Amino acid sequence: MSPNQGGKGTGKGAGGKARGPAAVRRLGLVVFGVAFLVLFLVVAIGEGVGDPSIPSGDVILVTHVPGDVGNISEADVEHAIGIAAAGEGQKKAPKPGEPKYEETKEAATKFLLEGIWIQGLADEWGIEVSDQEIAKELKKIKKESFKSEAEFKKFLKESHYSPEDINSRVKIQVLSAKLQEELKEKAPQPSKGEIESYYDAAKAEQFTQKSTRTIRTIVNKDRPKVEEAAASLQKDNTAKNWKKLAKKYSSDPNTKEKGGLQEGVQEGTIEEPLNAAVFSAPEGALEGPLKTKFGFTIFEVVTSTPETVQELKTVESQIQATLAQRLEQEYFTNYLSQFAIVWTSRTFCASGYVIERCADYESNGRPPTAPEACYEANPKGGLPEACPAPVNQLVPALPGTVTPLEPRGRPLAQRPIPGGGGEEAAAGLEGLPEGAVPPAEEAPPAEEAPPAEGE
């Protein structure tokens, strides 16, 4: 089988960051972007199959795919290794036994499988792509990513891509886009009740414009000076007099040069008791002196704007879009896990080519990011600072935090509750929302329990 057939031998590795020429990076982003993205969005629902025999001359077999797309030979893998190495900026592909060989081979193999899995899923869903569509997309890519045909050919040479490789990758990109569109159509839409619940929960914060005031103030820690300013304003309460008096008496550097003017002050954004006084005072009346943490304050409400609330009908489409995006993401996330399970069960690898995406892969039960030293009896240099848990922990939500706005709630930190009460117990309950009920303390032993009344 040709190394270029069925979308094989056409990758940069498993998403390795290109460090080659600018042309390599540009085409890499355009051609492979959707192909990588679809792996987080697309799944197939099916059943695994028994372990078939890998045909002679091949090292990997993927079932449930059209034709011989799922047959990967040793030559296919080596070709993909050369492309992956070039994409990672290596001067030449590593050879067996060299430090980078196994790492690059695994990355290249993963990328080969991704392309095959996408083609297999598209075939199951009856999605096809024509030669005309491939040619049109390639023309677009070349126009957007390369200044000339010569630059494109230079890219092919430096990246080790053949024209067949490029056509194969463009085919996978077009299939990926079509798969994504079909998945979007399958994603559930929010119900009227969900939209109403979201509106009720978000109304106070998102859809309410709080009351505002435009005010003038004069602030000074010396009460007699504030009273002098107030006496003058009682005789001449004009903007001109406010400007003169604020400059003379006010200690507020932000407003003293502006006649004490503060525009669009929102309720709850200034200190108490000034906030309550300002939002209960009529327009045009001189108020104070009022003692605050900054000193004594006199003020006047110049204009006021009442609180306004957007009605559901004016924001319904906005809420619908927000919830639809959330449901779509949840739908895609659920599909992702099933996609990996199904297609891994259909992928069989010969000895020396087994990776975690093969059905015959045997896991050691360790997280892939865990340092080897975490599992050694006497690691050289001692244990690492942090070793991951051997299993994923379920994190419950803080009581009372699951709402239409936060359907998953806020995670509850898992830690033991200190015994003995006092400050230690209080520290153990830190983070619980108001009204949450802490775990009950254990009852004292029977012999230590107080006697019942009348005994």
CA 221 to chain centre: 49
pLDDT of the residue at 388:
74
Retrieve residue 228's tokens. 């002098």
pLDDT tens per residue across span 182-241:
988 889 999 999 999 999 999 988 999 889 999 999 999 999 999 999 999 999 999 999
pLDDT at 392: 64
pLDDT at position 91, please? Answer: 84
The three-class DSSP label of residue 128 is coil
SS3 content of the chain, % helix, strand, coil (to 5): 45, 10, 45
Report which secondary-structure segment, H or E, holds 145: helix 131-145
Structure confidence by residue, pLDDT tens digits, 300-312: 999 999 999 999 9
252 near 219, Cβ under 8 Å? yes
Predicted local distance difference test score (pLDDT) of residue 19: 36
pLDDT at position 390 is 66
What pLDDT shows up at residue 379? 82
Cα–Cα dist 376/102, whole Å: 22
- Check residue 80 and report its DSSP letter: H
Which pLDDT does position 42 carry in this prediction?
37
pLDDT at 43: 36
* pLDDT on residue 33: 38
pLDDT tens for the chain, 455 residues long, are 433 444 444 333 333 333 334 444 344 433 433 333 344 333 333 333 446 889 999 999 999 999 999 999 999 999 999 999 998 888 889 999 988 999 999 999 999 999 999 999 999 999 999 999 999 999 999 999 999 999 998 998 888 888 899 999 999 999 999 998 998 888 999 999 999 999 999 998 899 988 999 999 999 999 999 999 999 999 999 999 999 999 999 999 999 999 999 999 998 899 999 999 999 999 999 999 999 999 999 999 999 999 999 999 999 999 999 999 999 988 988 888 889 899 999 999 999 999 999 999 988 777 777 787 888 888 887 888 778 776 666 667 667 666 677 776 677 665 554 544 445 444 444 444 444 444 444 444 444 444 444 43
Q: What is the pTM of this model?
A: 0.60
Model pLDDT, residue 336? 80
Residue 303 φ then ψ, to 5°: -140, 160
Give pLDDT, residue 378.
83
Q: Which of 299, 293, 294, 30 is nearest to 152 (CA)?
A: 30
**All residues at 6 or more sequence positions from 432 whose CB lies less than 8 Å from its CB, including other chains:** 398, 399, 438
Assigned token pair, 43: 């799944």
DSSP at 158:
H
Measured N-to-C along each axis, helices 312-344 and 101-124 cross at an angle, to the nearest 10 degrees, of: 110
Helix (H/G/I), strand (E/B), else coil: 111:
helix
* CA–CA–CA angle 395, 321, 398 (5° rounding): 20
State the pLDDT at residue 79.
93
Q: What string of DSSP letters covers 14-75?
A: SSPPP-S-HHHHHHHHHHHHHHHHHTTT----------PPPPTTEEEEE-SSSTTTTEEEHH
pLDDT at 40: 37
